[in-house]
Each structure stands twice: as C-alpha cells, then as structure tokens.
Amino acid sequence: MTVRLESEGPLAVVVLDRPEALNAFDYATLLRLGDIVAELGRRSEIHVVLFRGEGRAFSVGADLKERRTLTEAEVRRNVETIQRVFHAVARLPQPTIAVLHGYAFGGGFELALACDFRFAAPGTVMGLTETSLGIIPGAGGTQRLARLVGPMRAKELIFTARRITAEEALRLGILTGVADDPLSAARALAAAIADNAPLAVRAAKFAIDRGLEVDLETGLALETKAYETLIPTRDRREALEAFAEKRKPRFTGE
C-alpha cells in the first residue's frame, strides 16, 4: 500500500509509504492519498493530522519514471488529481503538520506547503525544482510559497529551481521548526492543539484560512460567523463550568 493511515486517539498520521521510490507520487499513490484525506475530513474524532514519509525522504514529488510513459492527456489527469488532492489537504478542517526529512522536492514540498505547520530534521533539503524539468509547480506551489515568503523570494526560488536546507527554510519562515526528532516535535505541537476544544480549533482555522482569501471587512464577517457557531456548543459551556470549578475542561467536540 503506497499510503497508509495510522490513528492514535485524536491524532491521525498519514504515512507516504513508497520508500523504494523516495515516496514519489504516481497516479495510484495520488488516488490513495485522496481517499485518505477525504476520509479524514469526515472523522470528527480526529483533531490533528500529521503527514510523514517512510524511508530516506519525505517525498521527491512526481514519479518521473511514470511521467515518461504518460500521454499528454494522462499528464493533465495527474496534474489535475494532485491539485485536487493537495487542495483537499489544505481544506481539511483539522490542523495539519508535515514532518520532513531527507528530501522534499516538487510535489513533495507542495504537500508540505499545503499543511498548516512544517517541522524538518537538520539538513533536510527541499525546493520547488520544476523549472529545471521544463514545467512549473502545479500543485499549489506558486501560490502557497508566495503567500509564505512573499512574491520576490518565491520567484527567486522557483525561477532558479534552487534547493534550500531546513536551516534556510526556517530563516525564510517556511518551517515551524527544525528538530533532531521532527516527529516528536510535531507530536508535541499536536498534543498542545488537541488539549483545546476541537470545534473551536476548527473554527479558528476556518476563519484564518478563509479570511486571508478576502478583504479585511469580509474576513471579519467570517470570523463573526465562525464564532457564532460555537455559542451553542457543549464545549463552550463546559469551559465556563471548568473555570468556575477551577479544573481543566473536558472537551468532547460537541
């Protein structure tokens, strides 16, 4: 199986599992990843989602061996599929964390950019290298990288196909952190998030992500709408009761 799903209480871990191909994305892998992401979007008991790669790399992006055998129509199919799947990752209601090691090139880096947070091991090398292959990033890279580091820096990295280390990526604001054990760092952040009311975390993610796509006035209206969805929840009432009783709230996601 090219992608597997592991559940650990409120935490889900999506594992890219083609280590012999450095977790490159062929069409079958994209379909499997899309199915898992769709399932996670329906699972209210999952509060945080991690993405990691098996073997020596997070992912080196598109499977170029497969790509050489495809017709132009099949290439378009693959590009449309990876766009759809990574957009679904970005739209997951739960916070998402990418755990990088080894290499994260092309589509592999774009998957990480579609996540809310990114941790990497020291020395991890990453980049949007598509222009060196006669194409451009086609799974959100031109848009998400520019929003992270600004258009000038994104153009420099994409036009030159330059590879950067985790340390430079951290300085540029691409990474949340660099850690000897990035999986443990990601789990620690996931645990801190999962301590809070899951409906509130989802509402906050919605307000931030959708608000950045519109003008400030519309964004503030989205924030108000997101807040209003939480007023009738049991978790809000539980938090007030816990405060009055001087105890930790027990959130149920209701």
**Catalytic member of 20, 39, 54, 110:** 110
**Catalytic member of 6, 54, 130, 167:** 130
Active site residue 245: no
Q: Which H, E and C letters describe the chain, residue by residue?
A: CCEEEEEECCEEEEEECCHHHCCCECHHHHHHHHHHHHHHHHCCCCCEEEEEECCCCCECCECHHHHCCCCHHHHHHHHHHHHHHHHHHHCCCCCEEEEECCEEECHHHHHHHCCCEEEECCCCEEECCHHHHCCCCCCCHHHHHHHHHCHHHHHHHHHHCCCEEHHHHHHHCCCCEECCCHHHHHHHHHHHHHCCCHHHHHHHHHHHHHHCCCCHHHHHHHHHHHHHHHCCCHHHHHHHHHHHHCCCCCCCCC
Active site residue 20: no
Identify the sign of the CA torsion 52, 56, 57, 59: negative
The residues annotated with a catalytic role in the active site are 110, 130
